[in-house]
């Protein structure tokens, strides 16, 4: 039956879906209003993504494929039709999901949004060049201007017109002199000295030289103007558009170029093109770092973490264990010379010997012995540290690169100072700024600069740059509209959160001005503070105003209430979901009886605790945190409490916790090699015994990873099947039931259950293996049954089903029960890790930690754990986190969700703004105390929850 939306009787256009059965959808039919903003909501696992992405988007993509000819499709593969009877009224579909845009370090916010491309064009066409030698503004001459200058400076002076052919290069140049002589020229100037060209003439090949050919010599008079014009033209031809004029009476010299030139030093630049400002082009990229802005440099803390240990105790980590190899024979030989052996603590090895071992000999000093195994006669002619750096840069082996990376740190490139571009490119300026400076401005600052720029341009520059400036302003404006004002163009795309990546793509779509599109988005509000929600809502409505349909999978209250229509799936998760519980316009929806409607209308809510925990009286104190935008932050975190780190987007929350505090704790407890960002001191480490970060990164990047393998129950399950009588008769071991090794797995898909179909310019598609039909195993393995189920059947079970199925096996039951307790009863044990959302992956990790023995002195760190969670799911999550705190542990959560913030024992609110306007603790204390702080933006929104 088709649901009739609670919408007015006026004429509407619809996307009509009939009989949707994909995954857990229960043969539902519905009509979705077109050219409106529609929110699809419901419990985790209720079927939201199955409806939005696996049905509507999948059908749209399939229809797009059908537009290609049969000939083209044979190269692109086929896409299965989603399990739905029919979909009518569907326009072309674009999906904007929560995926990091790229792992390529060359991909940045600037390149992704194309703003940087327009800036490159702006600097190439309107930029003003300055000499990196003298700082003088570069000039460009025509031949007529040069002739006028010569008459102005050298009138009635005996003058030589020179064509520079060699600049600061070594060589004997015998051939050059001979060819020049054959062309009829008799004189050259070598290193500032005039010489006659003699047969066989040559120079010292090991010294650097400057060579100019003397084109003509005469006194500058008006009647010799034609002669001067001819000489200058020939000098330009032979001197690569460069000419030098020398007063032979006093050696005064002037240089001229058709290209950009420094009139003082004679330095010239090639004519700029957009590629000269691209760090992805050899014409613009810094030669030292190849346009990355960073280089890998040997890190002494990683090479020698403990100087009190000896070589025998593996003090020098790259050397490893002492063994009978050429390298250790070399070290031993070095020890004989300088008086140390493998048992000497490295701190006691003579400095000269350590310098030789690590850095190589000083230039020109190479110590050698007659022993062919002498260490520094080969290895330390380079040094261990430079050798590691060279291996990383030059090796074609991924294993070697991965191994050497263990001993390297990433530092800002000293040549370009992290700007990624070569020196010449950084000396083109507009309004006193080079393009590298602009790439480091946040969007607010860049927008102000670009708006102000026309006031500083001359008439020619204004005409050239008008359209370019217009495009840049538009694109920055779209980013501001979706709350990304704190980002800068230089920000690497791989460091963006899923929410930030999604909003960048949303901004790009707004900028494209496409119409007639159905956009499908997955929680665009992720990582966004309540203050910025309205800007995002305006951006979504902007898409509908120009004739697009916007379908948003979302749990945020503000976005739901601002939508045109709400579709609520449920009533439960997994097999208990997949139905349309309620739907309608927001005002009508609030009157309905569904769980979501009750939360939105505040008939039910997550309770504010009557009392706040004070903790165990001990604190973890971090002082002087200065990483990224943090401004000398001091923070005291009460242990044994539930702590919320809040603040507007970009205020420094992740920098403080994920990049400073967590690496400090990892270093202390697990000797981690990851360096924390800058801080002064940390106190209170003695009060905790371990730290666990539970983030939203995937539990695996291939279809072979799944919840069962991650939480460690699959080993026990395989053991059960190998103990079955029939398995024993056949001699099957537990490994037979692994889909990662040969024997029991399907030979065609090698146990993946899926095959990848390459779609060329479209994303690859996974389809079921045609032999095992997605079951992963061969027929013989599937014949072994436990309680009537095969190993594949068990992997297909939901967590809820598995809890009952394994209730009599404690080792399995306990671990599966923790998955169920964090609200993941609807996922299957063998569900591919690649299909889990960030929030689901985080809860799988949380359940794995919950199944371990608890010490009561653990610090748990979670970054936005409510991502993808319905109000009811959040309530369940809070119960789990509160149980951890009740056991004496400390839970630190970075969060924007007010339902979480209001139940915290302690809040540290960063701000007051994002980017450079943030990085300070604005307010801290209990929620009640933060509400009273007038400076806290979070406090203002939190007060509404209490009211």
Q: Are residues 747 and 850 in the same domain?
A: no
Choose the weakest-confidence range: 49-58, 698-707, 754-763, 768-777.
754-763
CA-nearest of 39, 89, 490, 88 to 279 is 490
Structural domain contains residue 439: no
Structural domain contains residue 868: yes
Predicted local confidence at residue 306, as pLDDT: 87
| Mean pLDDT value across the chain | 89
The CATH number assigned to the domain holding 512 equals: 3.40.50.300
Q: Please, which residues bridge with residue 411 across strands?
A: 295
| Cβ contacts of 574 within 8 Å, gap of 6 or more | 24, 45, 798, 800, 825, 826, 827
DSSP H stretches of helix in 406-458: 435-440, 443-452
- Answer for the pair 537, 545: CB distance below 8 angstroms, yes or no: no
- Answer for the pair 222, 147: CB distance below 8 angstroms, yes or no: no
Q: Are residues 722 and 831 in the same domain?
A: yes
| Cβ contacts of 859 within 8 Å, gap of 6 or more | 620, 639, 665, 688, 690, 691, 692, 889, 890, 892
Structural domain contains residue 554: yes
The CATH number assigned to the domain holding 185 equals: 3.30.190.20
Query: Cα separations (Å) of 647 from 652, 851, 913, 922?
Result: 8, 32, 8, 9
Predicted local confidence at residue 98, as pLDDT: 65
532/943: higher pLDDT: 943
Query: Cα separations (Å) of 219 from 159, 222, 231, 246, 396?
Result: 6, 10, 13, 11, 62
The CATH number assigned to the domain holding 754 equals: 1.20.1580.10
Q: How confident is the model at residue 280 (pLDDT cuts 50, 70, 90)?
A: very high
Distance CA 841, CA 844 (A): 5
Predicted local confidence at residue 55, as pLDDT: 96
Strands (DSSP E) along 795-930, which ranges?
858-863, 890-894, 906-911, 920-925
* pLDDT above 80 (res 837): no
Q: Are residues 646 and 708 in the same domain?
A: no
Predicted local confidence at residue 375, as pLDDT: 37
Burial of residue 458 (CB within 10 Å: 0-12, 13-18, 19+) is exposed
Kindly report the length of the chain.
Answer: 947
Which DSSP letter does residue 632 get?
Answer: S
Which of 781, 804, 835 finishes a domain? 835
Q: Are residues 590 and 675 in the same domain?
A: no
Distance CA 486, CA 446 (A): 11
Q: Compute the CA torsion angle 17, 22, 28, 33 (nearest 10 deg).
A: -30
- Alpha-carbon 763 to chain mean position: 19
Structural domain contains residue 630: yes
Q: Give the residue carrying structure tokens 């061969």.
A: 778
Query: Could you give the percent of the chain with pLDDT greater than 70?
Result: 94
Structural domain contains residue 820: yes
256/894: higher pLDDT: 894
CA-nearest of 60, 53, 274, 240 to 165 is 240
Which of 243, 258, 273 finishes a domain? 258
* pLDDT above 50 (res 255): yes
Q: Are residues 854 and 752 in the same domain?
A: no
Mean pLDDT of 652-664: 94
Q: Which domain holds residue 562?
A: 14-100+497-600
Residue pLDDT, tens place only, 633-650: 999 999 999 999 999 988
Predicted local confidence at residue 45, as pLDDT: 86
| Cβ contacts of 183 within 8 Å, gap of 6 or more | none
Predicted local confidence at residue 378, as pLDDT: 52
Residue pLDDT, tens place only, 18-67: 999 998 999 999 999 999 999 999 998 899 999 999 999 999 998 988 88
Structural domain contains residue 125: no
SS3 for 70? helix
What is the H or E stretch that residue 478 is in? helix 459-481
Q: Are residues 621 and 592 in the same domain?
A: no
34/392: higher pLDDT: 34
Q: Give the residue carrying structure tokens 């004989």.
A: 336
What is the H or E stretch that residue 261 is in? strand 260-261
SS3 for 55? helix
Q: How confident is the model at residue 260 (pLDDT cuts 50, 70, 90)?
A: confident
Structural domain contains residue 552: yes
* pLDDT above 70 (res 760): no
Structural domain contains residue 831: yes
Q: Are strands 93-96 and 158-170 parallel, antiparallel or unpaired?
A: unpaired
SS3 for 346? helix
The CATH number assigned to the domain holding 393 equals: 1.10.8.280
CA-nearest of 732, 825, 807 to 777 is 732
Most confident among 369-383, 389-403, 756-770 (mean pLDDT): 389-403
Question: In total, how many domains does the chain have?
Answer: 5
Q: Give the residue carrying structure tokens 């896409």.
A: 79
Q: Are residues 882 and 923 in the same domain?
A: yes
Distance CA 900, CA 864 (A): 10
- Alpha-carbon 780 to chain mean position: 45
Which DSSP letter does residue 24 get?
Answer: T
Q: Are residues 572 and 690 in the same domain?
A: no
SS3 for 647? strand
Which of 374, 396, 412 finishes a domain? 412
Rg (CA), the chain: 35
Residue pLDDT, tens place only, 572-609: 888 889 999 999 999 999 999 999 999 999 999 999 99
Q: Are residues 708 and 820 in the same domain?
A: yes
Distance CA 869, CA 891 (A): 19
Q: How confident is the model at residue 225 (pLDDT cuts 50, 70, 90)?
A: very high
Mean pLDDT of 269-292: 93
| Cβ contacts of 153 within 8 Å, gap of 6 or more | 245, 252, 254
How many C-beta atoms surround the C-beta of residue 186 within 10 A? Answer: 11
Q: Are residues 796 and 881 in the same domain?
A: no
Mean pLDDT of 681-703: 87
Q: How confident is the model at residue 688 (pLDDT cuts 50, 70, 90)?
A: very high
Cα atoms found within 13 Å of the Cα of residue 564, Cβ hemisphere only: 20
Residue pLDDT, tens place only, 295-353: 988 888 889 988 999 989 989 988 888 887 777 877 888 888 889 999 999 999 998 88
How many C-beta atoms surround the C-beta of residue 408 within 10 A? Answer: 21
Residue pLDDT, tens place only, 161-209: 999 999 888 999 999 999 999 999 999 999 989 999 999 999 998 888 9
Q: Are residues 647 and 744 in the same domain?
A: no
Residue pLDDT, tens place only, 78-137: 677 899 999 999 999 999 876 654 557 788 999 989 999 999 999 999 999 999 999 999
Q: Are residues 938 and 908 in the same domain?
A: yes
């Amino acid at each position: 039956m088709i649901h009739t939306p609670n919408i007015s009787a006026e004429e509407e256009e619809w996307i009509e879906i009939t009989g949707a059965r994909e995954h857990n959808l229960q043969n539902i039919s519905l009509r979705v209003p077109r050219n409106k903003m529609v929110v699809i909501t419901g419990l985790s696992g209720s079927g939201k993504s199955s409806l939005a992405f696996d049905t509507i988007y999948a059908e749209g993509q399939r229809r797009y494929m059908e537009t290609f000819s049969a000939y083209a499709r044979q190269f692109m593969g086929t896409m299965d039709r989603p399990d739905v009877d029919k979909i009518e009224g569907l326009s072309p579909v674009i999906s904007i999901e929560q995926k990091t845009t790229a792992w390529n370090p060359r991909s940045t916010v600037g390149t992704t949004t194309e703003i940087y491309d327009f800036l490159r064009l702006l600097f190439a066409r309107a930029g003003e060049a300055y000499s990196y030698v003298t700082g003088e503004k570069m000039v460009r001459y025509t031949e007529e201007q040069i002739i006028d200058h010569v008459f102005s400076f050298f009138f009635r002076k005996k003058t030589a017109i020179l064509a520079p052919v060699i600049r600061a290069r070594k060589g004997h140049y015998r051939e050059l002199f001979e060819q020049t002589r054959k062309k009829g020229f008799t004189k050259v100037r070598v290193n500032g000295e005039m010489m006659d060209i003699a047969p066989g003439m040559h120079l010292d090949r090991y010294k650097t030289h400057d060579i100019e050919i003397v084109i003509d010599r005469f006194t500058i008079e008006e009647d010799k103007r034609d002669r001067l014009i001819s000489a200058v033209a020939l000098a330009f031809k032979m001197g690569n558009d460069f000419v030098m004029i020398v007063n032979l009476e006093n050696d005064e010299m002037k240089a001229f170029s058709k290209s950009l030139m420094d009139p003082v030093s004679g330095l010239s630049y090639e004519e700029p093109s957009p590629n000269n400002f691209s760090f992805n082009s050899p014409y613009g990229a810094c030669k030292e770092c190849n346009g990355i802005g960073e280089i890998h440099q040997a890190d002494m803390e990683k090479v020698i973490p403990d100087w009190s240990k000896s070589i025998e105790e593996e003090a020098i980590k790259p050397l490893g264990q002492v063994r009978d190899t050429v390298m250790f024979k070399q070290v031993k030989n070095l020890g004989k010379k300088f008086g140390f052996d493998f048992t000497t603590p490295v701190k006691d090895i003579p400095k000269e010997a350590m310098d030789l071992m690590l850095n190589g000999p000083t230039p020109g000093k190479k110590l050698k012995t007659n022993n062919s195994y002498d260490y520094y006669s080969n290895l330390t002619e380079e040094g261990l540290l430079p050798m590691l750096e060279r291996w990383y840069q030059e090796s074609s082996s991924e294993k070697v690169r991965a191994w050497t990376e263990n001993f390297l740190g990433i530092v800002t490139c000293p040549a370009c100072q992290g700007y990624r571009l070569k020196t010449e490119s950084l000396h083109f300026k507009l309004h006193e700024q080079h393009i590298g400076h602009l790439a480091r401005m946040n969007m607010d600052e860049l927008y102000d600069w670009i708006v102000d720029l026309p006031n500083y341009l001359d008439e020619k520059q204004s005409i050239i740059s008008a359209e370019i400036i217009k495009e840049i302003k538009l694109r920055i404006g779209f980013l501001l509209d979706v709350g990304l004002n704190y980002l800068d163009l230089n920000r690497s795309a791989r460091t963006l959160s899923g929410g930030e990546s999604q909003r960048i793509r949303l901004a790009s779509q707004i900028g494209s001005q496409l119409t007639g599109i159905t956009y499908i988005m997955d929680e665009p509000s992720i990582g966004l503070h309540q203050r910025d929600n309205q800007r995002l809502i305006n951006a979504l409505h902007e898409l509908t105003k120009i004739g697009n349909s916007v379908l948003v999978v979302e749990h945020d209250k503000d976005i739901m209430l601002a939508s045109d229509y709400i579709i609520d799936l449920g009533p439960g998760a997994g097999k208990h979901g997949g139905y349309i519980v309620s739907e309608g316009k927001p005002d009508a929806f609030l009157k309905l009886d569904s769980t979501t409607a009750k939360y939105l209308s505040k008939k039910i809510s997550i309770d504010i605790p009557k009392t706040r925990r004070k903790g165990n009286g001990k604190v973890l104190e971090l002082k002087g945190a200065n990483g990224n935008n943090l401004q000398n932050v001091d923070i005291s975190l009460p242990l044994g409490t539930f702590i919320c780190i809040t603040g507007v987007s970009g205020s420094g929350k992740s920098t403080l916790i994920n990049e400073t505090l967590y690496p400090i704790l990892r270093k202390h407890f697990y000797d981690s090699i990851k360096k924390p960002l800058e801080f002064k001191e940390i106190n209170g480490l003695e009060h905790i015994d371990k730290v666990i970060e539970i983030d939203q990164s995937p539990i695996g990047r291939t279809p072979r990873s799944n919840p069962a393998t991650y939480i460690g129950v699959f080993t026990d399950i395989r053991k059960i099947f190998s103990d079955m009588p029939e398995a024993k008769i056949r001699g099957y071991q537990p490994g037979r039931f692994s889909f990662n090794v040969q024997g029991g797995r399907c030979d065609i898909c090698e146990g993946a259950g899926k095959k990848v179909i390459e779609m060329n310019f479209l994303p690859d598609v996974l389809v079921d293996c045609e032999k095992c039909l997605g079951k992963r195993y061969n027929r013989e393995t599937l014949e072994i049954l436990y309680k009537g189920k095969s190993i594949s059947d068990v992997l297909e079970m939901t967590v809820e089903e598995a809890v009952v199925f394994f209730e009599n096996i404690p080792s399995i039951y306990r671990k599966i029960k923790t998955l169920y307790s964090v609200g993941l009863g609807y996922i299957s044990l063998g569900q591919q890790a690649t299909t889990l959302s960030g929030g689901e992956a985080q809860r799988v990790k949380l359940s794995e930690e919950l199944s371990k023995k608890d010490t009561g002195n653990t610090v748990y760190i979670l970054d936005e754990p409510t991502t993808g969670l319905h109000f009811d799911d959040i309530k369940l999550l809070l119960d789990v986190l509160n149980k951890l705190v009740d056991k004496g542990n400390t839970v630190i959560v970075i969060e924007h969700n007010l339902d979480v913030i209001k139940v915290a024992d302690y809040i540290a609110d960063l701000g007051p703004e994002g980017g450079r306007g943030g990085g300070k603790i604005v307010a801290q204390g209990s929620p009640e105390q933060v509400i009273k702080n007038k400076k806290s933006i979070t406090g203002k929104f939190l007060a509404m929850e209490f009211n």
